[in-house]
Amino acid sequence: QSALTQPASVSGSPGQSITISCTGTSSDVGNYNYVSWYQQHPGKAPKLMIYDVSNRPSEVSNRFSGSKSGNTASLTISGLQAEDEADYYCSSYTSSTIEVFGTGTKVTVL
Amino acid sequence: EVQLVQSGAEVKKPGESLKISCKGSGYSFTSYWIAWVRQMPGKGLESVGIIYPGDSDTTYNPSFQGQVTISADKSTSTTYLQWSSLKASDTAMYFCARRVDFWSGETTNWFDPWGQGTLVTVSS
């Protein structure tokens, strides 16, 4: 079970938009619309931000959106804010019936 | 409030055994899978395995098969992650998380909530 591939870091200025990619295979991202995204601040537990590729929990800001094309899912953060600085992880259901996580992306707000 | 509360930090020596816990409340504990997730220092999230407390059906990440044991006690709404012989490489933060795979009449897949994490340190 190999981790999904994410860029190690992405940065942007306040107010800008950034996109984080998450690349898997036809055994995970490409075969299921069950990709979720998690935000993790230092020393904290992960927090659900997006589920089922593009659905957003009610308590999550609408500045966060998700999409998928083929074996690659993406998380976009628009109107970047200082509080968005954190690590982000994607996750996908797999044909092994257990989820796989992405390698993680550190988002820096310049 | 739906929540998962994990046991406290542990410091152990190589070769010792350990069992950490994750107690659920605020929802039907036997109706949702619970996942255990490892995060080594400065590293990413890794699935260890999942358990369905309703019948203790368990699936392990092949990388962890035989290295740990996941169990559940329905009577106390608690799941456990245990080691029989710890190694220094087991040093990590371990999170539990509720896996939701059916919601509002539709299949889905996400982890929420998460426990606060249990830091396991293995050092001689």
* Model confidence pLDDT, tens digit, residues B9-45: 999 999 999 999 999 999 999 999 999 999 999 999 9
- State how far residue B92 is from chain A, nearest Cα, in angstroms: 12
What pLDDT tens digit does each residue of chain B (124 aa) get?
Answer: 999 999 999 999 999 999 999 999 999 999 999 999 999 999 999 999 999 999 999 999 999 999 999 999 999 999 999 999 999 999 999 999 999 988 888 888 999 999 999 999 999 9
Q: What is the share, in percent, of chain A residues with pLDDT greater than 90?
A: 95
Per the CB < 8 A criterion, the answer to whether A99 and B109 are in contact is yes
Partners of B47 on chain A (C-beta within 8 Å) are: 1, 98-101
Percent of chain A with pLDDT over 70: 100
- pLDDT at residue A91 is higher than 90: yes
What are the tokens at A30? 């490409």
Per-residue pLDDT at A52 exceeds 90: yes
A51–B47 CB contact, under 8 Å? no
For residue A63, is pLDDT > 90? yes
Name chain B contacts of A32, Cβ cutoff 8 Å.
109
pLDDT score for B64: 96
pLDDT at res. B102: 86
- Contact list in A for residue B4 (CB cut-off 8 A) is none
Q: How many A×B Cβ pairs under 8 Å?
A: 65
Question: Containing H/E element for B112?
Answer: strand B106-114
At residue B74, the pLDDT reads 95
pLDDT of residue A95: 86
Cα–Cα distance for residue pair A92/A99, rounded to 1 Å = 5
Q: For residue B85, what are its two tokens?
A: 């012989």
| Beta-ladder partners of B102 | B107
The closest of A98, A34, A88, A33 to A60, measured between CA atoms, is A88
Q: Which of B109, B118, B119 to mutate to test the interface with A (most CBs of A within 10 A)?
A: B109
Per-residue pLDDT of A12-33, as tens digits, reads: 999 999 999 999 999 999 999 9
Distance from CA of A37 to the nearest CA of B (A): 9
List CB contacts (< 8 A) between B114 and chain A: 45-47
- A93 contacts A24 by C-beta, under 8 angstroms: no
**pLDDT score of A50:** 98
Long-range contacts of A38-45 (CB under 8 A, 24+ apart): A38/A88, A38/A89, A38/A90, A38/A91, A38/B45, A38/B111, A39/A84, A39/A86, A39/A87, A39/A88, A40/A86, A40/A87, A40/A88, A40/A89, A41/A86, A41/A87, A42/A86, A45/B95, A45/B114, A45/B115, A45/B116, A45/B117
Q: What is the mean pLDDT of residues A36-50?
A: 98
Average pLDDT over residues A95-107: 93
